[in-house]
């Protein structure tokens, strides 16, 4: 194409006809409604996420989660406890209207309605405003759900003695315990005590560790027959000779035999 004397224009697909500026557009004419994704919105998201992450890591360092014992299929008295983020559902099932004959109501209907309502909140309240007063339905449903989760979690956690749980379920490595499985007393121990006190006397949720026991032979015999604390009587079933063998075995493992 010619334009003027001796001047030519050549089309090149690599060169844009209109160059756009890298500076974000000015959204001051629409305050509170929209903003540039980069860097304004994304920077705020990063800052908020960093604050929550640092706070969560600080909480974990200050109050470590108590670890339970190594899984043992021989323990029959174990009461399972869900992780902290499911404690609110665990607490919900303690109420009469969500347990017993109404268990399905507690595990399906109520959580389903709650999470379904939160899912539908943006569709039920789809106004253009972003401020909480302009989104009453969504804000109310979110506050109701958040309050219920926090309160139920607190109620469930407050009912558990976490320090005692961590102490009772302290992990004892198998190679630190010298157990003679050929000892006649160990067979008696397996039949009468292992379901609560573990295969290596390390204890568990249903019974304390016997490795730190300071009882002598006579005291252990009395406890095995009459019980102690939360341990009921009548646990041991065997002859007097077997009871003597069992008590001597436990004292031998714990190393408290001073005779």
Tell the burial category of 203 from Cβ atoms under 10 Å away from its Cβ (0-12, 13-18, 19+).
buried
What average pLDDT does the segment 215-233 reach?
Answer: 83
pLDDT at 134: 83
**Residue 33 pLDDT greater than 70, yes or no:** no
**Residue 192 pLDDT greater than 70, yes or no:** yes
pTM of the model: 0.44
Q: Is residue 235 part of a domain?
A: yes
Q: Determine contact, residues 233/227, Cβ cutoff 8 Å.
A: yes
**Residue 19 pLDDT greater than 80, yes or no:** no
Q: Which has the minimum average pLDDT: 64-68, 113-117, 137-141, 242-246?
A: 64-68
Q: Which is more confidently placed, 244 or 81?
A: 244
What average pLDDT does the segment 229-252 reach?
Answer: 83
CATH code (residue 187): 1.10.760.10
CB atoms within 10 A of CB 224: 23
pLDDT at 15: 53
pLDDT at 130: 75
The chain-wide mean pLDDT, for the chain, equals: 76
| Residue at a domain's end among 137, 160, 183 | 160
Q: Which has the minimum average pLDDT: 21-25, 116-120, 199-203, 244-248?
A: 21-25
- Residue among 255, 238, 243, 185 at smallest CA distance from 218: 243
**Residue 259 pLDDT greater than 50, yes or no:** no
pLDDT at 147: 93
pLDDT at 136: 86
Where residue 203 falls among pLDDT bands split at 50, 70, 90?
confident
Instruction: Give me the residues paired with residue 228 across strands.
Output: 231
Where residue 49 falls among pLDDT bands split at 50, 70, 90?
very high
**Residue 258 pLDDT greater than 50, yes or no:** no
Torsion angle, alpha carbons of 233, 239, 242, 248, to 10: 60
Q: Is residue 14 part of a domain?
A: no
Residue 134 sits in the same domain as residue 193: no
Residue 86 sits in the same domain as residue 156: yes
Q: Is residue 212 part of a domain?
A: yes
Domains in the chain, number: 2
Residue 155 sits in the same domain as residue 203: no
Q: Determine contact, residues 64/56, Cβ cutoff 8 Å.
A: no
Residue 246 sits in the same domain as residue 182: yes
Residue 186 sits in the same domain as residue 137: no
Residue 115 sits in the same domain as residue 93: yes
Q: Is residue 47 part of a domain?
A: no
Q: Is residue 13 part of a domain?
A: no
Q: Is residue 45 part of a domain?
A: no
| Residue at a domain's end among 107, 133, 160 | 160
Task: Classify the C-alpha dihedral 15-21-24-27 as positive or negative.
Answer: negative
What average pLDDT does the segment 221-247 reach?
Answer: 83
| Residue at a domain's end among 160, 193, 209 | 160
Residue 131 sits in the same domain as residue 180: no
Element (H, E) at 179: none
Q: Is residue 211 part of a domain?
A: yes
User: d(Cα 179, Cα 208) in Å, to the nearest integer?
Assistant: 17
Residue 156 sits in the same domain as residue 206: no
CATH code (residue 148): 1.10.287
Residue 181 sits in the same domain as residue 249: yes
Q: Which has the minimum average pLDDT: 34-38, 93-97, 207-211?
A: 34-38
- The half-sphere exposure of 174 on its side-chain side, counting CA atoms within 13 A, is 8
Residue 91 sits in the same domain as residue 143: yes
Residue 156 sits in the same domain as residue 187: no
Q: Is residue 9 part of a domain?
A: no
Containing structural domain, residue 111 = 82-160
Residue 179 sits in the same domain as residue 207: yes
């Amino acid at each position: 194409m010619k334009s003027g004397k001796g001047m030519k224009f050549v089309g090149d697909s690599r060169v844009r006809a209109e160059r756009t500026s890298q500076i974000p557009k000015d959204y001051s004419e629409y305050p509170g409604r929209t903003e540039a994704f980069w860097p304004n919105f994304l920077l705020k998201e990063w800052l908020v996420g960093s604050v929550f992450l640092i706070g969560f890591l600080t909480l974990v360092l200050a109050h470590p989660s108590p670890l339970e014992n190594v899984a043992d299929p021989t323990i029959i008295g174990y009461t399972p406890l869900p992780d902290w983020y499911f404690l609110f559902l665990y607490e919900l099932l303690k109420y009469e209207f969500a347990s017993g004959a109404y268990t399905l109501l507690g595990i399906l209907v109520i959580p389903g309605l709650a999470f379904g309502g939160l899912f539908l909140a943006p569709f039920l309240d789809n106004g253009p405003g972003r401020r909480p007063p302009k989104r009453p339905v969504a804000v109310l449903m979110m506050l109701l759900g958040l309050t219920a989760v926090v309160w139920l979690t607190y109620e469930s956690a407050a009912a558990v003695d976490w320090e005692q749980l961590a102490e009772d379920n302290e992990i004892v490595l198998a190679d630190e315990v010298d157990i003679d499985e050929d000892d006649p007393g160990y067979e008696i121990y397996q039949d009468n005590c292992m379901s609560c006190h573990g295969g290596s006397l390390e204890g568990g949720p249903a019974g304390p560790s016997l490795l730190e026991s300071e009882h002598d032979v006579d005291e252990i015999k009395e406890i095995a027959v009459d019980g102690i604390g939360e341990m009921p009587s009548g646990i041991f079933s065997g002859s007097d000779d077997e009871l003597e063998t069992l008590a001597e075995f436990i004292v031998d493992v714990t190393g408290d035999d001073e005779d």
